[in-house]
């Protein structure tokens, strides 16, 4: 998968070279290119924003440098068509289902807005451009960030860890696709490692007995209990599990 990111803060993305993502990049499983939006300006102060039409607080990102940046990126793809992802608190919610769906996109371009957002004509224009495979305006949750950079890091990590070969892609990710940890209606229960006793707290005895059937049953029950307690919104989606 190819991932391009356009931002006025390229340094924000140095964490992508660490750990999981760094290894995936080194292995050629993902190719990440970071672009500084200010290099697509032509004035001496590299200005990327302007006052909003209609008035109001803050500034809006100009469509002009965005157009130049995105056209150049698409033109570098040898006829391939990227998907434009625009992180915004007013977007559709990005969740585990979206992350899974995006793993089949060969090329994602993230447009990180700052200030009050990007001039709406950018999303409108690329939605109807045959050089692009579509535009997705997405939010990572119900809170407001200062810009799309942190949201982009979140989405890139959520998608990349699902790509074949990226994690120890085996159990930890495949296990995500059903039952506990799926984010499909259940959160994971508690996990434990050595020592068996720590500061007076014991590891639950069922985990020490080695009876895999009992362990699976216990873990499923723990997931149900925890989901009912802290995620009533998820519990309500699985009435058959009686999580309420």
CB count in 10 Å sphere of residue 190:
12
**CB nearer to ligand 6GU: pick between 58 and 141:** 141
Question: Is 89 one of the catalytic residues?
Answer: yes
**CB nearer to ligand 6GU: pick between 21 and 85:** 85
State the nearest-atom distance from the C-beta of 15 to ligand 6GU, in Å.
Answer: 17
Nearest to 122 by CA among 70, 63, 49: 63
State the nearest-atom distance from the C-beta of 173 to ligand 6GU, in Å.
Answer: 24
Nearest to 159 by CA among 113, 96, 107: 96
Active-site pick, 11, 31, 72, 116: 116
Q: Residues in the chain, how many?
A: 244
Q: Are strands 60-61 and 49-50 parallel, antiparallel or unpaired?
A: antiparallel
Active-site pick, 89, 131, 157, 231: 89
Question: Is 205 one of the catalytic residues?
Answer: no
Question: Is 161 one of the catalytic residues?
Answer: yes
Q: Classify residue 4 as left (phi > 0), alpha (psi -120 to 50) or beta.
A: beta
Q: Pull the structure tokens for residue 57.
A: 């607080």
**CB nearer to ligand 6GU: pick between 148 and 189:** 148
Catalog residues that contact ligand 6GU under the rule CB under 6 A.
87-89, 138-141, 143-145, 147-148, 151
**CB nearer to ligand 6GU: pick between 66 and 180:** 66
Question: Is 157 one of the catalytic residues?
Answer: no
State the nearest-atom distance from the C-beta of 136 to ligand 6GU, in Å.
Answer: 11
Question: How far, in Å, CA of 196 to CA of 194, rounded?
Answer: 5
State the nearest-atom distance from the C-beta of 152 to ligand 6GU, in Å.
Answer: 8
Question: How far, in Å, CA of 78 to CA of 226, rounded?
Answer: 49
Catalytic residue numbers, as ranges: 89, 116, 161, 176
């Amino acid at each position: 998968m190819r991932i391009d990111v356009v931002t006025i803060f390229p340094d924000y993305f140095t964490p992508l070279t660490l750990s999981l993502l760094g290894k995936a990049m080194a292995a050629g499983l993902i190719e990440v290119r970071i672009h500084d939006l200010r290099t697509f300006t032509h004035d001496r102060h590299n200005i990327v924003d302007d006052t909003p039409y209609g008035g109001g607080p803050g500034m809006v990102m100009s469509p002009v440098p965005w157009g130049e940046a995105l056209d150049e990126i698409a033109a570098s793809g040898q006829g391939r068509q990227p998907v434009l992802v625009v992180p915004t608190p007013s977007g559709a919610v990005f969740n585990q289902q979206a992350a899974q769906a995006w793993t089949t996109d060969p090329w994602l371009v993230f447009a990180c807005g700052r200030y009050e957002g990007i001039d709406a004509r950018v999303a409108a224009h690329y939605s109807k451009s045959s050089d692009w495979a579509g535009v997705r305006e997405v939010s990572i949750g119900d809170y407001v960030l200062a810009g799309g950079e942190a949201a982009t890091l979140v989405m890139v990590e959520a998608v990349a860890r699902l790509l074949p070969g990226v994690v120890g892609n085996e159990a930890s990710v495949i296990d995500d696709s059903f039952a506990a940890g799926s984010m499909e209606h259940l959160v994971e229960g508690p996990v434990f490692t050595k020592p068996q006793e720590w500061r007076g707290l014991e590891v639950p005895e069922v985990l020490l007995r080695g009876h895999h059937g009992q362990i699976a049953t216990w873990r499923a029950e723990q997931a149900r209990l925890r989901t009912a307690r802290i995620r009533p919104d998820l519990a309500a989606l699985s009435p058959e599990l009686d999580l309420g």
